[in-house]
Chains A and B, each alone.
Chain A
Amino acid sequence: MKPERKYESGFSLMELIMALMVLTVVMGIAFSLLNRFQQSYRYEEAYADAQRNARFAVARLNEIIRSAGTNPTANTTVNPTNFVLLLAPTTASGTAISSSSIQLRSDLNGDTLNTATVSSNSDVIVTSENVTLWLDAANMRIVMDDNTVTPPLSVTIADNIRTLTFTDPNGASNTNKAIQVQLVATPSGIPDGDPRYREVSYNATIRLRNR
């Protein structure tokens, strides 16, 4: 048996070195790939987050804007062109055609005024009868102000929004029967100088159901 054992050699040093070198090269390539994939994954996730964020923001704005002008008592003093007001900047004639802030009025409690806030556990989407949706550009977020209290009570609707524009699709005639919302959401955690930096742009036309 002993003479046969001389053939049971392990890997030679050279073999080991070669194998390790090959393994190192392969692992190096693999890990660098993995690293790049992971980076890509992170970027894609941020991009997907931005998309999700933008969609949520549009859905929420849609939900809030389309109910504007609720008027359960059919009060005739209600000015239907005031359900939605595009705020400054205005044109020379004083009418805003597009703006980053919008004021919505409705009568939730049937008192024929737009000055109340119904209790927060009520069954309505927005509890205030007079709100302003606007872009807080410094903090890159969309904010809803409840104008029925002083100072206005602010609630954040969506974060990481770089631009927000409300437009009346009827242009200068400004009939406020529908509002076009355009917003740009940014991916969080990716520097905007990065070549792979991308923003998400959303555009939706919301018809006012009470017009």
Chain B
Amino acid sequence: MTDETIQTRDNGERGAALIMALLTLALLLALTMGMSLTAISELGVSSTYGTQTVALEAAEAGLNHAASLVSNYNGADFTALLAIRPTPLSTDYMTGNNPFVTANAASFAPGCVMIDPEIPARGYQLRDGVTGAVVPDVYYRVSLIDDEPTTSPAVVRVPNFSPAAYSETIGVNADSAAVDKNNRLVIYSTGTFANASVTLEGWIAFLPFPALSANKNVEISGNAQITGAYGGVHSNSGIVENGNGWWVEQTVTATGTLTGDFAGQVGGFCGGNQPPLDLPPFVTRDPLISGDPYTPPRLQDFLIRRADILLIDPDFADGAHSLDQNDVGSPATRQLKSIANRLNINYALLAAQLDDTPGGNVQQGDPVAISVSRTVPGDFNSAGIPIKLADTTDVGWSHSNSGWSIIPNAAGASAGGHTVYAIGENNYDTSNQNLASAGSSTSNGGSILLNSNVGGNGAPIAVTMFSTGSIEVRGNVNITANLLDLQTGFLPPFVTPDVLMMAVEDIWVNGDFAANIAFTGVSYAGEAVKLSGSGSINGQMIAFNWPHVSGSPVDALNVVTGNFQLTLNQGDSIGRVKLYSWRQIKR
């Protein structure tokens, strides 16, 4: 039996099947491995590019996060921001110099998310923008340094950066990694994902808008000169030139087209089809009451509340209720209520100051000057106390049919040292708030016209003027801003411009106007700006260009002509914090 069994097992024909099976298996194995190799190698390639892309996007997120925190910094200036970095400074530009940590959160606007180094080597973990959930394995870390050239002896410097005679390397505090001298900083952001890492370098600065910036068309002609470090022109529409005597030192840019021959008359870049500037609407909607700019012409509340003198047109409050601001059936009451609320002055108190004959409705026959003090000095949200002055000449102003005017060479009181708000009739067509209909309205009251020798040569009068109408300057006028170092919600807190003139309608400067002594800052027209004659302004002109109403002195077009000289050299003006230069770093 045993042998028979052995014979049966030895039957060789079954061996062929085994061999065949083994061979087939080997073959299949070889094929499978071959195919897998292709797939695996392709997967590896995809994965490398994928991680690199995610790391780049993380780095970019870090750059934008840091830039946003810089523009929300509430300290005095960029030097103060540099001072809250850890000490001693890291000498590696890419790492360690991060001021954006929770310990410094009080230095930034409330609600800002900081860039904490949650893992020291990798930084802050990326969050989902919608859910706030952490994104697995994606981090960015940032480092902020001053823009010290590579050749500077400063402890930390920008690599490959060797400009000639750079502002950071000359004068007081030259070559200091801790002191910013030109409103420019450099952010390095390193994004990591898995084992991939990308570093980006971003240059961030507060860049003022060009000296003349407008929403609508601008014409440059005559022998006008626009000069200085920010002596440029921008229009969010088009720019037309005329003649070859004018000169712009920096850029001439338009969102629309340039018309004319600009060759040889512009020092910097000149071109159309450029990105628009987001000019802040200083003439704007009421933040408390819905409406549009035509509901009542007004200036931004926190600006006009800085006025210490109100110049009120005759008859402005005539017929208004003397006590009840809610007597809204009367247009005069509505108008007075609107002004009282914006200035944060009790309606009845203001009405009483304007009323010539107490009892019944307000009767105001004369132009009135009212001095305003605040219950908490310096706090413009505290109530304003209005006191009527015996005569407008007590603050150096007079009124005529042409509007308000500074009394030249006043023997007694001077207009100097005050911020005035000239208030007059609202003539905008409020029954039809369609912007296009504005052209049919007559101009507002509250206009200012300076046409005499105001302010002697070398002795400017410090006065800031707000107007519900237009401001026109003729003659030999020498004034400088009274409202200095203004903080507004439209600008980073450390940008504090001086303000010279703000009008709901036009600003026309025509003559020997010379606000060039110690003044740097802003003039702002709700409608158009015209600069003509042989005047000069050391500052910035912004035209918001609401539709032109008939009767205000400048047509819709913004013009700079004659021998006018507009100069903007310093950074305390309207502009924006911008990430303006970007590149990838190899390390």
Please, which residues of chain B bring their CB within 8 A of the CB of A78? 268-269
B162 contacts which chain A residues (CB < 8 A)? 109-111
A71–B203 Cα distance when bound, in Å, is 9
Is the Cβ of B273 less than 8 Å from the Cβ of A175?
Answer: yes
Q: Known contacts A37-B31, A67-B584; is A76 also within 8 Å of B251 by CB? A: yes
**Any chain A CB within 8 A of the CB of B13?**
yes
Is the CB–CB distance between B164 and A111 below 8 Å?
yes
Within 8 A of A (CB), among B454-480: none
Q: Are B45 and A124 in contact (CB under 8 A)?
A: no
Interface residues of B in 560-587 (CB under 8 A from A): 580-587
Q: Is the CB of A38 within 8 A of B24?
A: no
Contact B161–A109 (Cβ < 8 Å): yes
B interface, over-half SS: mixed
Residues in B with CB closer than 8 Å to A110 are 149, 158, 161-163, 166
Roughly how many angstroms separate A1 CA and B581 CA in the complex, as a whole number?
A: 100
Q: Would A7 and B581 be within 8 Å (CB), given that A34-B30, A76-B232 are in contact?
A: no
Note all chain B residues with C-beta closer than 8 A to A119. 160
* Contact B251 A125, beta carbon cutoff 8 Å: no
Q: Of residues A33, A48, A74, A175, which shows the largest number of chain B Cβ atoms within 10 Å of its Cβ?
A: A74
Option from B166, B273, B581 in Cβ contact (under 8 Å) with A71: B581
CA distance A165 to B4 in the complex (A): 81
A51 touches B42 (CB 8 A): yes
Measured between alpha carbons, how far is A23 from B15 in the docked complex, in Å?
Answer: 12
The smallest C-beta distance from A45 to any residue of chain B, in angstroms, reads 6
A123 touches which of B13, B35, B160 (Cβ 8 Å): B160
Residue contact A77 to B267, C-beta cutoff 8 Å? yes
Interface check B128, CB cutoff 8 A: no
Expressed in whole angstroms, the minimum distance between the Cβ of A165 and any Cβ of chain B is 21
Instruction: List residues 142-186 of chain B with CB under 8 A from any CB of chain A.
Output: 147, 149, 158-164, 166, 184, 186
Question: Chain A contacts of B288 at CB under 8 A?
Answer: none
Q: Which of A76, A108, A210 meets B160, CB within 8 Å?
A: A108
A73-125: which residues lie under 8 A (CB-CB) from chain B?
73-81, 106, 108-112, 118-119, 122-125
Residue of A nearest to B267 (CB): A77
CB-defined interface of A120-142 with B at 8 Å, one 1/0 digit per residue?
Answer: 00111100000000000000000
Question: B1 at interface (Cβ–Cβ under 8 A)?
Answer: no
A112: shortest Cβ distance to chain B, in Å?
Answer: 7
- The yes or no answer to A8 lying at the interface (CB within 8 A) is yes
Counting CB contacts under 8 A, is A198 at the interface? Answer: no
Q: How far is the CA of A76 from the CA of B248 in the complex (A)?
A: 12
- Please give, as numbers and ranges, the residues of chain B lying within 8 Å of A56 by CB-CB distance: 49
With A111-B164, A123-B586 as given contacts, are A173 and B34 in contact (CB-CB < 8 Å)?
Answer: no
Which residues A48-63 have CB closer than 8 A to chain B? 48, 51-52, 55-56, 59, 63
Contact of B27 with A by CB under 8 A: yes
Note all chain B residues with C-beta closer than 8 A to A67. 582-584
Output the nearest chain A residue to B6 by Cβ-Cβ distance: A8
B160 and A74 contact, CB distance less than 8 A: no
Is there contact, CB below 8 Å, between B184 and A74? yes
- Taking a contact as CB atoms under 8 Å apart, the answer to whether A30 and B207 are in contact is no
The reply to whether A74 and B585 form a contact with Cβ atoms under 8 Å apart is no
Kindly list the 4 A-B residue pairs having the minimum CB-CB distance in the complex, ordered from nearest. Answer: A76-B268, A110-B163, A209-B582, A67-B583
A interface residues, Cβ below 8 angstroms from B? 4, 7-8, 10-11, 15, 19, 22-23, 26-27, 30, 33-34, 37-38, 41, 44-45, 48, 51-52, 55-56, 59, 63, 66-67, 70-81, 106, 108-112, 118-119, 122-125, 173, 175, 209-210
Residues of chain B whose beta carbon lies under 8 Å from any beta carbon of chain A: 3, 7, 10, 12-13, 16, 19-20, 23-24, 27, 30-31, 34-35, 38, 41-42, 45-46, 49, 52, 147, 149, 158-164, 166, 184, 186, 203, 205, 207, 232, 250-251, 267-269, 271, 273-274, 580-587
**18 more CB-based (< 8 A) A-B contacts, given A15-B13, A125-B583:** A10-B12, A19-B13, A19-B16, A26-B24, A30-B24, A41-B34, A48-B41, A55-B46, A67-B582, A74-B207, A74-B581, A108-B160, A110-B149, A111-B164, A118-B160, A123-B585, A125-B585, A209-B582
